[in-house]
Amino acid sequence: MDAETKQQEQARVTAVVEKIEQRLHDKNVQLEQAQRETTSIDRNYGDNTRVNIAEVDDRIETNAAVQQQKQLVARTVENETILKQQMKQLEDLQQSPYFGRIDIDEDGERDTLYIGTASFIDAKQNFLIYDWRAPISGIYYNGTLGQVSYETPNGSVQAELLKKRQFLIEQGKIENLFDTNETVGDSMLQHVLGADSDEYMQNIVATIQQEQNDIIRDTKHDILIVQGVAGSGKTSAILQRIAFLLYHSRESLNSEQMILFSPNRLFSHYISEVLPSLGEKNMRQVTLAEFLGQRFSGLHVETLFERYEQDQLSFPTAAQKIRRYKESRAYLEVVERYLKQTQPQQLAFTSVYFEGRTFFTKDEIAKIYAQQPVNMLAADKFLATKNTLIKRLKRRIHEEAKADWVAAEVDMLSEDRYRSIVGTQRFATGDDEFRFIAEKLVRDRLAIVYDALYNDYFIDIYEQYADFMQQATLTDVAPAIWQAMIASYRQQIERHQLRLEDAAPLLYLRDRLTGSGQNHAMQHLFIDEMQDYTMAQLTYIKHAFPRAKLTLLGDRAQDLFTAHYQQHDFIAALTTIFHTHSINLITLNKSYRSTYPITTFAAALLPAGNEIEAFTRDGHKPVLITTDSDALSLQQITQQCRRLLLQHETVAILTKDQATSAQLFARLKLDVETTLLTDADRALPKGVLILPIYLAKGLEFDAIIAFDVSAVHFNAAGDRDILYTIASRAMHELVLVSTGTPCRFISEIPAEMLEQDAALTTTELP
Ligand SMILES: Nc1ncnc2c1ncn2[C@@H]1O[C@H](COP(=O)(O)OP(=O)(O)OP(=O)(O)O)[C@@H](O)[C@H]1O
């Protein structure tokens, strides 16, 4: 790029930054004003609350005034929040106003547009910066020079792309700029990917790749499925997609109507800064364990991690068969058939009690249910039963209100209680008032019965599920084993525990039977690490959020939790369960996270690894260290940690399970801060981290030490995926430590892909 062009561009950057600074100054004045307003309302609010509160009528009036003041304060506070957000965005733009420029010709009219993380319009309404999500910015990510089109709400628009320029601007200074015909040039990516990792994930708006852009901007499909190799930017794409969707549906969509299922809490923390960096609020986040925990209050649902640890110890063949069955879509279809055929007498109704006595007997409830039309759906019958019970309760309240104890209680009512019941109501006669108060007293007393009805406690859903399992036998499992499984389920319920494999089917049975459990407000549902979910769970989740569009992302090769018992083709199974919806399936094969030698090594671990395309970034070959004893391995790990920490702030030692992590932590004596991470942790400290691989899902680290990759620990077919997931967490350095012979997945790899002694050399890229 010639010096003159660079100078001209720098002059523009400087001019834009000046305008941004001016705007920041204006906003600051507005903010100070808003803060003064809040303080003055606050003071006023304080004065008002001191108004006479001795008289009841005054108190009501004062309450209204207080409410009004509260609303005023809320509004000014909101105003302040908006101003602060705008200022934060302007501060970001001030540092780096934009990263791209496109010159286009639209119907003979030439235009130059600059693209950044947010729009900036000057006082004369000139767009000095276009938001990366604006329809026209799509050209920057999608188009090569020549004829291009971009989507607008009014349809597709044609244009000619004449120039595409990329910028790297730091603190208002152009560090680099170049013209490119590619989506985003490699040198820009090299710069970004070569940096050290951070506690938080970064946004990638300046360097989004074309195929990632397809994920971000898809608004047409009900279900978007992304199969992407490790490090291909799936999580990044999901987050930019959320920002994109929020921008494009400002009026009809807010962050509360989007939910992301994330693999663990460390991950939730790791991605928590991406959306705020783009000026957006975070969506709701939940892990599968949290989601199930909320739906089974009072019961501990086994977590994926607990089950994974348990499976390492023992997992008999029959148990595998049963689990495969329970996790299939077919099992939920059996639930549906069961509900269609179930006779009223089969329903596990339970009596509703009040103060030790039966209020509604289970026979009475069953009778009401049995009176519903035979062809009615199970859920409708249940709802009709519930409504009848509530009506009967109301009748009983009405009757009970005439009882002597109620009259006595009304007479004894304190002034305060009387006021809180009656409020501002006026009654035509004293009798009316008495009846009103009496019914309220009875209603309060019987609230517990109402709650039981409202929350469907008149059916024992756990017993119902046991009854269902009695019918849902599996032909190739011996009846005695099936019965033993049901017995063990019952024992677990007694102990307030539930196996993970039963969670989705049980919820499905409950919801379909009782017509509850659905959230119709959620508009978008995102599932990261989709391969960790079963078909039954995914079907249930879709059922629970019926109106939500789904974005599912994952990598079938990073199947830590089911590869040891599940053989199906995940993507095929997925497209089958959602076949009635419009599906867009996108495959990402290019991996950005790791250096070229690490990605090619990780790919070589997989049978179909040749699909993986490594981004060409230089680095050391992975190092394989084989020792004869645990003691020597510890020594080697210590040395490697020291070496790696000279260049990086964080080194993660990844193990196959928690027990290995804990043992290592106990035995490793390092002179740097060393942290053993568990499922309860939410943040990633610096130094040496020791954690089982499942907690590192979705995360990345500058340097990884994999321990222990010996044949003893990595032997089963499913272990291949575990090893691949470990290797693909490393951005710059990967060290594999094996006590004894390394596992076959490593020994089968061409020796030249690894450095077998500690003398490190940098590989030449092909
Ligand atoms: N277009 C891009 N520009 C810059 N960095 C990118 C881009 N795409 C991906 N990356 C970087 O590559 C790394 C991996 O991205 P990300 O975590 O989104 O991948 P993933 O597919 O979700 O990985 P995994 O499945 O292995 O967890 C991150 O550091 C991310 O910032």
Place of tokens 């040395």: 639
Degrees (nearest 5) of the Cα angle 550, 684, 709?
85
Distance separating alpha carbons of residues 267 and 264, to the nearest angstrom? 5
The answer to whether the beta carbons of residues 87 and 27 sit under 8 Å apart is yes
The answer to whether the beta carbons of residues 223 and 552 sit under 8 Å apart is yes
Which is more confident, 521 or 669?
521
The answer to whether the beta carbons of residues 243 and 217 sit under 8 Å apart is no
Q: Which atom of ligand 1 is nearest to the CA of 729?
A: 26
Distance separating alpha carbons of residues 115 and 126, to the nearest angstrom? 13
SS (HEC) of 590-649: EECCCCHHHHHHHHHCCCCHHHCEECCCCCECCEEEEECCHHHHHHHHHHHHHHHHHHCC
230 within ligand 1 shell (Cβ under 6 A): yes
Per-residue pLDDT of 663-697, as tens digits, reads 999 999 887 889 999 988 888 888 999 999 999 98
β-pair partners for 103: 112, 163
263 within ligand 1 shell (Cβ under 6 A): no
pLDDT beyond 80 at 564: no
Residue with CA closest to ligand 1 atom 13:
593
Distance separating alpha carbons of residues 698 and 704, to the nearest angstrom? 14
- Predicted local distance difference test score (pLDDT) of residue 757: 64
Cα–Cα separations (whole angstroms), residue 3 to 9, 176, 185, 437, 697: 10, 12, 20, 86, 46
213 within ligand 1 shell (Cβ under 6 A): no
- State the chain's maximal CA–CA distance in angstroms: 98
Collapsing DSSP to helix, strand or coil, 354 comes out as strand
How far from chain centre, in Å, is Cα 560? 18
Per-residue pLDDT of 234-246, as tens digits, reads 999 999 999 999 9
The reply, when asked if residue 710 is annotated as ligand binding, is no
β-pair partners for 635: none
Q: Amino acid letter at 546?
A: P
Lowest model confidence (mean pLDDT) among 27-41, 62-76, 123-137, 530-544 = 62-76
- Predicted local distance difference test score (pLDDT) of residue 762: 42
pLDDT beyond 80 at 205: yes
Question: Which of the 8 DSSP states describes residue 171?
Answer: T
Q: Which atom of ligand 1 is nearest to the CA of 728?
A: 26
Cα of 115 vs centre of ligand 1, distance in Å, is 22
pLDDT beyond 50 at 12: yes
Place of tokens 């391969």: 531
- Taking alpha carbons only, the member of 474, 550, 469, 539 closest to residue 511 is 539
Percentage, residues of the chain above pLDDT 70: 94
702 within ligand 1 shell (Cβ under 6 A): no
Residue with CA closest to ligand 1 atom 14:
231
CA atoms within 13 A on the CB side of 446: 26
Taking the CA atoms of the chain, what radius of gyration do you get in angstroms?
32
- Predicted local distance difference test score (pLDDT) of residue 623: 95
Other C-beta atoms lying within 10 Å of the C-beta of residue 623: 21
Q: Amino acid letter at 347?
A: L
Extract the tokens encoding 169. Answer: 């601007």
236 within ligand 1 shell (Cβ under 6 A): yes
728 within ligand 1 shell (Cβ under 6 A): yes
Collapsing DSSP to helix, strand or coil, 442 comes out as helix
pLDDT beyond 60 at 626: yes
- Taking alpha carbons only, the member of 538, 554, 7 closest to residue 291 is 538
Residue with CA closest to ligand 1 atom 30:
233
Per-residue pLDDT of 232-276, as tens digits, reads 999 999 999 999 999 988 888 888 899 999 998 889 888 988 998
Q: At 686, phi and psi to the nearest 5?
A: -85, 175
The reply, when asked if residue 6 is annotated as ligand binding, is no
Kindly state the average pLDDT of the residues 697-722.
92
- Taking alpha carbons only, the member of 140, 69, 65 closest to residue 101 is 140
Q: Amino acid letter at 139?
A: I
401 exposed, middle or buried (CB, 10 Å; 0-12, 13-18, 19+)? buried
Place of tokens 């300046």: 206
How far from chain centre, in Å, is Cα 657? 23
339, 345, 350, 354: CA torsion to nearest 10: 130
The answer to whether the beta carbons of residues 319 and 478 sit under 8 Å apart is no
- Taking alpha carbons only, the member of 104, 106, 128, 110 closest to residue 118 is 128
- Predicted local distance difference test score (pLDDT) of residue 764: 42
204 within ligand 1 shell (Cβ under 6 A): yes
Confidence of residue 185 (pLDDT cuts 50, 70, 90): low
The reply, when asked if residue 232 is annotated as ligand binding, is yes
Confidence of residue 188 (pLDDT cuts 50, 70, 90): confident
Q: Which atom of ligand 1 is nearest to the CA of 699?
A: 27
- Taking alpha carbons only, the member of 414, 557, 386, 610 closest to residue 422 is 414
Distance separating alpha carbons of residues 529 and 697, to the nearest angstrom? 8
SS (HEC) of 192-236: HHCCCCCCCCCCCHHHCCHHHHHHHCCCCCCEEEEEECCCCCHHH
Distance separating alpha carbons of residues 433 and 430, to the nearest angstrom? 5
Confidence of residue 412 (pLDDT cuts 50, 70, 90): confident
Cα of 594 vs centre of ligand 1, distance in Å, is 9
Question: Which of the 8 DSSP states describes residue 356?
Answer: T
- Predicted local distance difference test score (pLDDT) of residue 761: 40
Cα of 590 vs centre of ligand 1, distance in Å, is 10
Confidence of residue 198 (pLDDT cuts 50, 70, 90): confident
Q: Mean pLDDT of all residues in the chain?
A: 88
Other C-beta atoms lying within 10 Å of the C-beta of residue 22: 13
Per-residue pLDDT of 578-609, as tens digits, reads 888 899 999 999 999 999 999 999 999 998 87
Q: Which atom of ligand 1 is nearest to the CA of 201?
A: 31
Other C-beta atoms lying within 10 Å of the C-beta of residue 324: 18
Where do the DSSP E strands lie in 278-318?
284-286, 300-301
The reply, when asked if residue 718 is annotated as ligand binding, is no
The answer to whether the beta carbons of residues 596 and 613 sit under 8 Å apart is no
- Predicted local distance difference test score (pLDDT) of residue 47: 55
617 within ligand 1 shell (Cβ under 6 A): no
Burial pattern 278-303, b for ≥16 Cβ within 10 A else e, equals bbbebbebebbbbbbbebbeebebbb
Per-residue pLDDT of 421-457, as tens digits, reads 888 888 888 888 888 999 999 999 999 999 999 999 9
Distance separating alpha carbons of residues 710 and 712, to the nearest angstrom? 5
Question: Strand 120-121 vs strand 127-131: parallel, antiparallel, or unpaired?
Answer: antiparallel
- Predicted local distance difference test score (pLDDT) of residue 61: 53
The answer to whether the beta carbons of residues 135 and 152 sit under 8 Å apart is yes
pLDDT beyond 70 at 42: no
Q: At 706, phi and psi to the nearest 5?
A: -95, 125
Distance separating alpha carbons of residues 180 and 199, to the nearest angstrom? 32
Distance separating alpha carbons of residues 442 and 422, to the nearest angstrom? 15
Task: Out of 140, 204, 238, give the residue to mutate to test ligand 1, the one with the largest number of ligand atoms within 8 Å of its CB.
Answer: 204
pTM of the model: 0.86
Distance separating alpha carbons of residues 589 and 587, to the nearest angstrom? 6
Residue with CA closest to ligand 1 atom 25:
230
Reported ipTM = 0.98
Cα of 320 vs centre of ligand 1, distance in Å, is 34
Q: Note the helical H segments in 402-527.
A: 404-411, 415-422, 430-445, 447-454, 461-471, 479-494, 500-514
Extract the tokens encoding 410. Answer: 């009304």
Cα of 361 vs centre of ligand 1, distance in Å, is 59
593 within ligand 1 shell (Cβ under 6 A): yes
> Which H/E stretch holds residue 760?
none
pLDDT beyond 70 at 543: yes
Q: Distance between the two ends of the chain, CA-based, in angstroms?
A: 28
Q: Note the helical H segments in 50-132.
A: 56-95
- Predicted local distance difference test score (pLDDT) of residue 53: 44
Burial pattern 444-466, b for ≥16 Cβ within 10 A else e, equals ebbeebbebbeebebbbbbebbb
202 within ligand 1 shell (Cβ under 6 A): yes
